[in-house]
Amino acid sequence: MDHTFAVIMAGGSGTRLWPVSRQKHPKHILPLLGERTLFQGTVDRLDGLLSPDHILVVTAAGQARILKKQAPMIPASNFLVEPEPRGTAAVVGLAGMVLRDRDPEAVMLVLPSDHFIRNRDLFQLVMRSAVEIARKDYLVTLGITPTFPATGYGYIQRGKPLLEEAAYPAYRVRKFKEKPTTAQARSMLSDGDHSWNSGMFIWRADRILEEFAHQLPELKRALERIGSAWGTVHQKAVFESVWPGLKTVTIDYGIMEHAERVVVLPAGGLEWSDVGSWDSLFDVLIPDVDGNVVVNSHFMSLDTHNSLVYGGQEKLIVTIGVDDLIIIDTQDAMLVCRKDQAQQVRQVISKLRNSDRNHYL
């Protein structure tokens, strides 16, 4: 895996796992699943695939210090700190420029920092195949084989198989699709030719920059100004003056939907989750005999099933006669939610935002 680099996107600020994740404590920096944080899990997952000095972390000012502490094996100079959030296209473009200058043959794995993948061996096998394909100037996206008609993800429809040999089957992408309705999701699931869009991408740095030149030329030029100052005494000044003026756009919308030579690797069996809500966290954790998942809690139950109980430290949580419930306790806020309504946490967030209780965010 010479010339291979990872770019971990770790600048997010979601509150969908409220009340554990907060504006100032987004989910990737929290030990949601035990000892290690989701960010650390993302780094751990690369162990054996590439060396820590080949990992770039793009993050926000407020998070850089804690992420460096969580991954001390990554050189401090590999942390790129966005002056402010400008969407994933700008992040990928900047990282591409930095990596191409460092290694003209660079292949980059673009990885979110807040996903969960249980099956690390399979992940590495897929990544090795993806890198092989990416070397041939393809833009590779990692698809996740759907296990239910999810409406919370974008989808990727595959076309013909790629003729080039690879350790893992790959397909031309026919179409990227936005988050569907339930009916559309059902139909895509039964068609069998759709994957969830995981937000993981693999490509050569020079190849993606070529695509930027075609599709987002203005953004590309602005990034080149930053790139030409990179590593000089002007780096900080130019970065901080140019970056805030960049167009905010996602890599999916700004590049992928209309790119050439786009390929999908449909991966089943990764046991992947974007951990986008409490019920999706529940789905990837291993339940006890009653179907309950208990994290960080002293727990005692009578007649309790299929519930997620998440607490802290020395507190005892007792449940009686409860099914399919999510119970999340923190120091200053608690959530009790029916599992099939976990998406409604967003509504709670927006009610809090528009109230004098926004200190709970």
Q: Tell whether residue 348 is a contact of a second copy (CB under 8 A).
A: yes
Report how far apart, in Å, the C-alpha atoms of 168 and of each of 129, 139, 268, 336 are: 6, 15, 11, 43
Binding a second copy (rule: CB under 8 A), the pick from 175, 179, 214, 351 is: 351
What is the spatial distance between Cα 55 and Cα 43, in angstroms, rounded to a whole number? 8
Give the dihedral of Cα atoms 53, 79, 71, 209; nearest 10 deg.
-60
The interface with a second copy within residues 211-230 (CB under 8 A) comprises none
CA dihedral 229, 231, 235, 238 (to 10 degrees): 20
User: For residues 132 and 108, what is the distance between their CA atoms, to the nearest angstrom?
Assistant: 12
* Residue 237 in contact with a second copy, rule: CB under 8 A: no
Among the candidate windows 169-177, 239-247, 283-291, 320-328, which touches a second copy by CB under 8 A?
A: 320-328
Is the Cβ of residue 178 or residue 340 nearer to a second copy in the bound state?
340
Q: How far apart are the first and last CA of the chain?
A: 42
Q: What backbone torsions phi and psi does residue 306 show, to the nearest 5 degrees?
A: 50, 40
Query: Cβ of residue 325: shortest distance to a second copy, in angstroms?
Result: 7
From the list 24, 236, 336, 358, which residue makes contact with a second copy (rule: CB under 8 A)? Answer: 336
Q: Take residue 121 and report the two structure tokens written for it.
A: 């061996």
Residue 317 binds to a second copy (criterion: CB under 8 A): yes
Pick 210 or 324: Cβ nearer a second copy: 324
Of residues 137, 193, 303, 358, which one binds a second copy by CB under 8 A?
A: 303
Given a contact cutoff of 8 angstroms between Cβ atoms, the answer to whether 167 and 205 are in contact is no
Asked if residue 361 binds a second copy (CB under 8 A), the reply is: no
- Beta strands 79-82; 171-177: pairing state: unpaired
Nearer to a second copy, 211 or 329 (CB): 329
CB 83 within 8 A of CB 34: no
Nearer to a second copy, 190 or 313 (CB): 313
Q: Does 321 bind a second copy (CB under 8 A)?
A: yes
Residue 327 near a second copy by CB under 8 A: yes
What angle separates helix 217-229 from helix 205-215, to the nearest 10 degrees?
130
| Of 318, 350, 353, 358, the one binding a second copy by CB under 8 A | 318
Q: Which two tokens stand for residue 102?
A: 């460092």
Q: How far is CA 74 from the centre of its chain?
A: 19
**Given the rule CB under 8 A, which of 32-40, 116-124, 134-142, 317-325 is the region that contacts a second copy?**
317-325
- Where does this chain touch a second copy (CB under 8 A) — which range of 91-99, 146-154, 242-250, 296-304? 296-304
Candidate list 61, 167, 183, 300; residue touching a second copy; CB under 8 A: 300
Q: Does 314 bind a second copy (CB under 8 A)?
A: yes
Q: Rounded to an integer, what distance in angstroms lies between the CA atom of residue 280 and that of residue 273?
A: 7
Choices 33-41, 140-148, 282-290, 349-357 (CB under 8 A): range interacting with a second copy: 349-357
Q: How many chain residues touch a second copy (CB under 8 A)?
A: 37
Name the residue nearer to a second copy (CB basis): 241 or 341: 341
Residue partners of 121: CB distance under 8 A and separation at least 6? none
Near a second copy by CB under 8 A: residue from 124, 228, 235, 341: 341
Length of the chain measured in residues: 361
E-only strand ranges, 216-297: 262-267, 272-273, 293-295
Strand order in the sheet with 325-329: 293-295, 308-310, 325-329
According to the binding rule CB under 8 A, does residue 345 interact with a second copy?
Answer: yes
CB of 333 to a second copy, least distance (A): 4
Q: Give the interface segment with a second copy, choosing from 76-84, 150-158, 283-291, 331-339 (CB under 8 A).
A: 331-339
Of 3, 5, 16, 19, the one binding a second copy by CB under 8 A = 19
From the CA atom positions of the chain, what is the Rg in Å? 21
- Which residues sit at the interface with a second copy, rule CB under 8 A? 19, 298, 300, 302-303, 311, 314-322, 325, 327, 329, 331-338, 340-342, 344-345, 347-348, 351-352, 357, 360
